[in-house]
Structure 1
C-alpha cells in the first residue's frame, strides 16, 4: 500500500501564476517558486538570502515542448538570482522565465551541503533527460560525513516529490516498470498498468509501453518505423526531436528505428504516432499485451471495477 504525502502550497499573492511556497509535513526543506516577472518580489523574500540551491527554467527554442534549465547554489541565493536576472550582455541569463529556490526552514544547510545538492541535482537532471542543461560543468559531489549524505539524499527525495506538483519535472525519471506474469486484464490492472503493445505487422515491429506514475512511457528497445509517412504536423516535429537527441536510433540493419531509452510522452496518441510514423489514435492502437483489449478499453474496465455499472 502506498503512503500518501501532504504538500502544502501557499499562493503568496493570491494568484496561481505568482509567487508561491511549497512544503511537506515534517520536512525541513522549503521550496519557493516565482515567474521572472516577480523577480523583484522574490529577491525580497527572506528565504532567498539563505544557503541553498536554485533552478532556472525556460523554453528551449530548438526543441518542441522542450525546456532549458540551469542549476546553481549559493550562500546567499538572492545575489545569484540578481546576477542571472541581468541582461545576457551584462553577464546574466536571458533564457529563463521561472525560478525555483530550495532552502531549509531551520537554516541548517551549509555551503558544503548546497554544493552536494547542486551536483546531485545536475546528475539527476542529466539522467532524467527531460530538459537541456546549460550548466558548463557538473561538479563532483563533495565528500560529506555519512550522516550528512543521508540527510541530503532525504532532502533530494522530498524535493523530487514537491517539484512535480509545481510542474517542474526535470528530475523525474520514468517510473520503474514491473512486468506482470498475467496477460489478462484483471483486478491487478486496477492497481498498476499492464504492458501495452503496438504492432506494425507490415514492418515486423513491436513497441511496448506502460502507464506508470501518471505518465505514458514507451520502453527502451521498442521498435518504430524508419521514416515518417504521415502528414507534416506536431508529431513529426516531436519525432525529429527524438531522433536528434538520440532517443530514436536506426537499427543495425537500417530497416527500422528503436528506442535507446525509456521515453515519456504527453499522451498515448503521441507515443503511437512516433512509433507508427503517422497520426494514430493511441487509445485504440495500443493493446494490452497478449489480448485484444485496447488502452481505452482497459481504462474503461478500471472505471467499472472501481464504481460498478451506473444506471442509465
Structure 2
C-alpha cells in the first residue's frame, strides 16, 4: 500500500482565490501560487527573490479543455515574471492567468540545479502529453554530479505530488497498458479493466479508472469520425485526432498512446464518436458489470 502524504496548503490572505503556499512535511521545496491579477502581491513574497523554477498556466482560447503551460527558471524568479507580464510585442506572454513558483526553503538550489529542473519538467510535460507545453525549445539536461541528480529527482517527485493539487496535471503519469497500471512504483488502478465496442467501425476500447481519471489504453479502437450533431465532445475528439493521439490502423483507427479522460462518459463519447453514457456503456467483460454497477457494489448497503 502506498503511504499517505500530508500536504500543507496555506491561504496567505485567507481567501480561496488569493495567494497560497504548498509544501510537504520533510521536503525542502515550497510552492507559492497566485493569479496574474495578484502578481504584485506574489512579487512581494520572499520566494520571488530566490533561485527557482516557475510555471505559467492558462487556457487555450480555441479549446477551453486544453491547458497551456510555460516552464522557466531564474536566479531571481520574480524578475522573470515581470518580463513575462509584458505584452507579446514586448517579449512577454499573454496566455497565462496564473503563476506558480517552486523554490527551496533552505536556499540550497543553485543555478545549475534549477536549469536541470527546468529541463526535466519540460521533458516530463511533453512525455505525458496532458498539456500544451508552450516552450519553443527544451534545454538539454545538465550533467550534474550523481548525488545532485538524485537530490533533484527526489525534489521533482515531491513537486509532482503537490502540483496537481494546484491545477497542474502536466506531470502526472499515464500508464500505457494494464501491466504498467500494476507496477508497484506507478499510479495504482482503482478499477477492473472495462471494455467498449466501437459501433459501425468495429474493434474494442479498453480503459481503467486510475487516480481519479479514466484512462483509455494504447491500442484501443476509436471511431474513425465524429458522427453526432451534438458537438459537446467533438472538439476533444478533433484535438486528439490532430495531435497524434489517434492513428490509422488498416480500415480502423486506434489510440497511438494512452489518454486520461476526466470521466468515463468523456472517454465513451470520444471512442464512439457521439455522446454516450460511459457509466453504463463501459463493461467488465468477465462479469458483465457496467461501470455504474461496479461503482455501486463497492459502496456498503444501507
Structures share a fold, TM > 0.5? Answer: yes
Which of the residues 252, 259, 270 maps onto 1:256? 252
Cα gap change, 1:221 to 1:64, in 2 (>3 Å): farther
Q: Deviations over 1:201-256 (max 9, x none)?
A: 653310000001111010000001112211231211110111011111222x2x22
Q: Distance in 1 between matches of 2:108 and 2:176?
A: 33
Out of 103-112 and 10-19, give the one that drifted further.
Answer: 10-19
Q: Deviations over 1:185-210 (max 9, x none)?
A: xxxxx983110000136533100000
The answer for the alignment partner of 2:276 in structure 1 is: 280
SS across alignment from 1:148: helix
Report 1:135-150 matches (<5 A): 135-150=135-150
Cα gap change, 1:238 to 1:301, in 2 (>3 Å): same
The answer for the alignment partner of 1:48 in structure 2 is: 48
Q: How many residues are treated as equivalent by the alignment?
A: 295
Q: Distance in 1 between matches of 2:205 and 2:237?
A: 15
The answer for the alignment partner of 1:24 in structure 2 is: 24
Q: Compare CA radii of gyration and give the structure with the larger one.
A: 1
The answer for the alignment partner of 1:210 in structure 2 is: 208
Conserved 8 A contact 2:230-2:274: no
The answer for the alignment partner of 2:105 in structure 1 is: 105
Conserved 8 A contact 1:179-1:195: no
Conserved 8 A contact 2:189-2:209: no
The answer for the alignment partner of 1:267 in structure 2 is: 263
Structure 2 regions of 5+ residues with no counterpart? 181-187
The answer for the alignment partner of 1:126 in structure 2 is: 126
SS across alignment from 2:69: strand
| Residue 89 of structure 1, CA deviation | 1.9
The answer for the alignment partner of 2:85 in structure 1 is: 85
Conserved 8 A contact 1:64-1:238: no
Q: Distance in 1 between matches of 2:31 and 2:117?
A: 14
Conserved 8 A contact 2:50-2:77: yes
Q: Deviations over 1:108-159 (max 9, x none)?
A: 0000000000000000000111111221210111111111000000000000
State TM-score, norm by structure 1: 0.91
Q: CA RMSD in A?
A: 1.7
Q: Distance in 1 between matches of 2:116 and 2:224?
A: 43
Q: Deviations over 1:3-26 (max 9, x none)?
A: 000000000111111110000000
State TM-score, norm by structure 2: 0.94
Conserved 8 A contact 1:220-1:262: yes
Cα gap change, 1:177 to 1:227, in 2 (>3 Å): closer
